[in-house]
Amino acid sequence: MTRQPRTRPTLEEVASAAGVGRGTASRVINGSAKVSDRARQAVESAIAELGYVPNRAARTLVTQRTDAVALVIAESEERVFGEPFFAGVVRGVGIALSEAGLQLVLLLAHTAQRHGRLDDYLTRQHVDGALLLSLHDDDALPERIRERGLPVVLGGRATEDQQGVYVDVDNALGARLAVDHLVHRGRRRIAAIAGPADMVVGRTRHDGYLAGLRAAGLESDDALVVRGDFSQASGESGMRVLLSRRPDLDAVFCANDLMAAGALRVLREAGREVPRDVSVVGFDDAPLAQSTHPPLTTVHQSPEQMGREMVALLLENMRHPDEPPQPRLLETRLVVRESS
């Protein structure tokens, strides 16, 4: 005789097995504190015995919570899955959300793709909050999300137009540390492959570079600065431009490690020995920095910590929506290797 498949246990069956009312069983399942310890233990035992699984959709209607958080990265799939920084942030966010019993929803989108489906999804019907990463200056997504009542935390310092709670690393100080190090190594013609001008991170790291030059009594020179997009290819093309403009340069600060790896490749092709002829410093301290030739001196930041802190601020904001938390600025430090 074949056994009939067991039907999914209901809330009423849990309540009956526990010897409590349906309302009490529901309060236990939804985490309410308004139940006695005895009733809670009885309901939890019944849940375990029956194998009861709460209906998430029904629970959402009751609690007005989805237990899901969106991480929106404003970059292409190629960049997100090709750059260690994004992997670190996703890892930190995922771990912190898991520890809080929340689900991560990862959304990737270019600026032009952020209307329509993405906007429709970022509502309280789908997620409890949003984390936004790698925004450009003209991005209005933070304000559009806040207008729907969703708490938002930015990964990276906000612009005046975007405003809001954010977690960032001390990019200006990190770049300043890089330039100070190069100056102490006796370098005087220090070039920069800066990040995009339409991103706060690109501007602040460039500002730190300029501050380092001023502190050393060195004049800034536009011919010694090019901008890349944080890709290795832009580091290669930027280094070629710098060598054509100022073949006498003796150092280069790159706004991230991928661009520094590109710069090292071009310097090697040009017959420049690193660090004897040209010193190179990057920013990130990604795993790549230890496998370049030579290993890369770089400014250390922790994208995983950034992800964790973003979640912490979001949870704080969700608990106290009328008292937004203060932004957090994470420390940076220089890691010296053979490239300088």
Please provide the DSSP assignment of 256-275 as one string.
Answer: SHHHHHHHHHHHHHTT--TT
Which residues, in sequence order, are CB contacts of 296 under 8 Å at separation 6+? 257, 260, 261, 264, 280, 281, 282, 288, 289, 290, 337, 339
Q: Is residue 252 included in any domain, yes or no?
A: yes
Question: Do 294 and 180 fall within a single domain?
Answer: yes
Lowest mean per-residue pLDDT among 17-21, 235-239, 329-333, 334-338? 17-21
CATH number for the domain that contains residue 206:
3.40.50.2300
Residue 49: predicted pLDDT: 85
Radius of gyration of the chain (CA): 26
Q: Is residue 114 included in any domain, yes or no?
A: yes
Question: Do 132 and 178 fall within a single domain?
Answer: no
Q: How far is CA 216 from CA 31, 213, 224, 253, 275, in A?
A: 59, 5, 16, 15, 20
d(CA 279, CA 292): 14
Question: Do 289 and 324 fall within a single domain?
Answer: no
Q: What range does the domain containing 283 cover? A: 171-300
| Per-residue pLDDT band at 82 (split at 50, 70, 90) | confident
Question: Do 176 and 296 fall within a single domain?
Answer: yes
Tens of pLDDT, residue by residue over 182-200, are 999 999 999 999 999 989 9
The number of distinct structural domains making up the chain is 3
Q: Per the structure block, which two tokens stand in for 110?
A: 């270019």
Tens of pLDDT, residue by residue over 276-322, are 999 999 999 999 999 999 999 999 999 999 999 999 999 999 888 88
Amino acid at 32: S
Q: Are 298 and 169 in contact (CB under 8 A)?
A: no
Residue 84: asked if its preceding bond is cis (omega within 30°), the reply is no
Q: Pick the closest to residue 14 from 49, 61, 62 (CA basis).
A: 49
Identify which has the larger pLDDT, 124 or 138: 124
Summary mean pLDDT of the chain: 88
> For the chain, what percent of residues have pLDDT higher than 70?
90
| Per-residue pLDDT band at 2 (split at 50, 70, 90) | very low
Query: What's the distance, Cα to Cα, between the start and end of the chain in Å?
Result: 78
Q: Are 190 and 252 in contact (CB under 8 A)?
A: yes
